[in-house]
Amino acid sequence: MAIVQDSFQHEQAEQLLPLLAARDPQRTVAWRHGAAVSAAQFLAHVEQVAVLLPDAPAAVNLCEDRYAFLVAFCAIARRGQANLLPPSRAPQAVEEVMAAHPGSYALGEQALSPAPHGYRKLPALDPGPDAVPTAAPVIPAGQPVAIGYTSGSTGTPRANAKSWRSLCASSAGTLAMLGAVAGGRFHVVATVPPQHIYGIEMSVLLPLLGEVGVHAGRPFFPADVAAALAEVPAPRVLVTTPVHLRALVAAGTALPPLAAMLSATAPLPLELAQAAEQAFGAPLLEVFGSTETCAFASRRVTADGDWTLYEDVHLHPQPDGTLIEAPQLDAPVVLADIVSLHDGGRRFRLCGRNTDLLEIAGKRASLGDLTRRLLAIPGVEDGVVFQLDGTDAAGVRRIAALAVAPTLDEATILDALRRSVDPVFLPRPLRRVPALPRNETGKLPRAALLALLG
């Protein structure tokens, strides 16, 4: 059955880009249930799903199995539609995104109850006989293939559309960065969900655009991470977050040999990076980016605190942040991050965010540094310092904190903070909580923090 991209027929002269870079139809795209899935088999699954999809502008991709997500992602794009990636898979978040995109539907591999309206379940993606090699489908470079949403850590989640050209351009920098440490061919195990832009970049785009195989699972517990890594051959790259890394280090679980570890979504403390490299015997790299920009820089914090920009990326410091020019951006984007440039503009040091910097009574501090000092208190297992909305009688925005510290009380935590924090920056209120409301990538949505604070 021919698949027609009705909304893009007028762009026939536009550049077409393949959905899968696969010179060898037998190269491994994914590892699922302990078996390799070839490029030929993957393309057969994409066609199997694509012909079943309805005509629509977009679809919420709710697949939890990473291989099912990969197939659905390409099948949706194959039909000229965009993958909607809500900030979470909570029913309300999904319904809000679908309401913002009239005519959209939802797609997943599981039987959901309750299910979003218009929900469609993927057919079983069973391994069949040797698939007949076919050429990878091509789509217009400017076609929007994904609409991602910010996490809500700084306010209401915002939509960001990504064209196929944009995602291909950002992935080129990441493939070059990882290739320098892991080689041209490697295999990825990721603890992050594919719906997040970091998960898209590192566990969906890499196997589509590079000689990379990805494990279909999303292991959570340290033993599960070790088992997933054991199911893929070397060289292995573990894609994870500081929250998951901390758990892996604390568990002391032995991992199969790694070529590299990759972290993002939150600042990576130097002490944690050093502990992870010592425990697992592999370099730990960070990528810097956002939902608006995708990844555009990387570093190895145990070797250097500065970030190195990807090829053809340029930063321009502004009074209110930093203007970014990058191959994946149709127009420059301004982020709230404050940076200082080095080495002719090819490297930068992060100085904070304009929303992170505090000035009270002529004194300055940052929320990031205050959070670091809170986490350094013995007995504090997790914590965050953040500003509240509104101002007090003196016109100052109050600072609050949440701490996970089972063996401490709130007064003890505040006393410990007084030893390293100026009194004007002591968080009031400071509440002890059983756990922080982290999302699947370890981020803390602001609305959830305020709700927990009460």
Per-residue pLDDT tens listing for the chain (454 residues)? 344 344 444 444 479 999 998 778 899 999 999 999 999 999 999 999 999 999 999 999 999 999 999 999 999 999 999 999 988 777 888 898 999 999 999 999 998 888 888 899 999 998 876 666 778 899 999 999 999 887 655 556 788 899 999 999 999 999 999 999 998 899 999 999 898 889 999 999 999 999 999 999 999 999 999 999 999 999 999 999 988 998 999 999 999 999 999 999 888 889 999 999 999 999 999 999 988 899 999 999 999 999 999 999 999 998 878 999 999 999 999 988 889 999 999 999 988 766 677 766 566 677 888 888 898 899 998 899 988 877 665 556 788 999 999 999 999 999 999 888 888 888 989 999 999 988 877 788 888 898 888 7
Whichever domain contains 27, its CATH number is: 3.40.50.12780
CA angle (15, 163, 24) in 5-degree steps = 65
CA distance 236 to 257: 7
Q: How far is CA 258 from CA 102, 188, 189, 210, 224, in A?
A: 45, 10, 10, 19, 15
Of the candidates 279, 305, 331, which is a domain's last residue? 305
Same domain, 158 and 25: yes
Same domain, 393 and 268: no
CB 250 within 8 A of CB 275: no
Same domain, 71 and 195: yes
Cα maximum dimension of the chain:
73
CA distance 74 to 212: 16
Q: How far is CA 336 from the centre of its chain?
A: 18
Which 8-state DSSP code applies to residue 154?
T
> What is the per-residue pLDDT for 115?
87
Got the DSSP string for 336-372?
SEEEEEEGGGTEEEEEEETTTEEEETTEEEEHHHHHH
What SS3 state is found at 244? Answer: helix
CA distance 217 to 195: 13
> What is the per-residue pLDDT for 395?
59
Q: How far is CA 83 from CA 74, 123, 198, 297, in A?
A: 9, 18, 15, 25
List the helix and strand counts (H, then E) for the chain. Answer: 12, 27
> What is the per-residue pLDDT for 9?
42
Residue type, 164: W
CB 201 within 8 A of CB 222: no
CB 428 within 8 A of CB 400: yes
Same domain, 159 and 78: yes
On whether residue 60 sits in a domain, the answer given is yes
On whether residue 330 sits in a domain, the answer given is no
Same domain, 281 and 422: no
CB crowding 61-100: b at 16 or more within 10 Å, else e: bbbbbbbbbbbbbbbbbbbbbbbbbbbbbeeebbeebbee
Same domain, 243 and 372: no
How far the first Cα of the chain sits from its last, in Å, is 55
On whether residue 315 sits in a domain, the answer given is no
Same domain, 93 and 164: yes
On whether residue 340 sits in a domain, the answer given is no
> What is the per-residue pLDDT for 3?
42
What SS3 state is found at 147? Answer: strand
Of the candidates 283, 305, 327, which is a domain's last residue? 305
CB 266 within 8 A of CB 299: no
Whichever domain contains 397, its CATH number is: 3.30.300.30
On whether residue 310 sits in a domain, the answer given is no
Identify whether 114 is preceded by a cis peptide bond (ω within 30 of 0): yes
Provide the 10 A C-beta neighbour count for residue 138: 14
pLDDT in tens, 11-44: 444 799 999 987 788 999 999 999 999 999 999 9
Same domain, 297 and 372: no
CB 39 within 8 A of CB 29: yes
| Sign of the four-CA dihedral 85, 86, 90, 92 | negative
Count of structural domains within the chain: 2
Of the candidates 290, 305, 320, which is a domain's last residue? 305
On whether residue 300 sits in a domain, the answer given is yes
- Report the DSSP pairing between strands 138-140 and 16-18: antiparallel
The boundaries of the domain holding residue 102 are: 15-305
Which 8-state DSSP code applies to residue 112?
-
Which 8-state DSSP code applies to residue 135?
P
CB 75 within 8 A of CB 50: yes
> What is the per-residue pLDDT for 285?
97
> What is the per-residue pLDDT for 393?
59
CB 82 within 8 A of CB 147: yes
pTM: 0.82
On whether residue 336 sits in a domain, the answer given is no
Q: How far is CA 305 from the centre of its chain?
A: 21
Same domain, 382 and 300: no
CA distance 56 to 203: 26
Residue that the structure tokens 């066609």 belong to = 47
On whether residue 44 sits in a domain, the answer given is yes
Same domain, 239 and 159: yes
Same domain, 253 and 382: no
> What is the per-residue pLDDT for 72?
97
Residue that the structure tokens 């993927």 belong to = 122
Same domain, 237 and 367: no
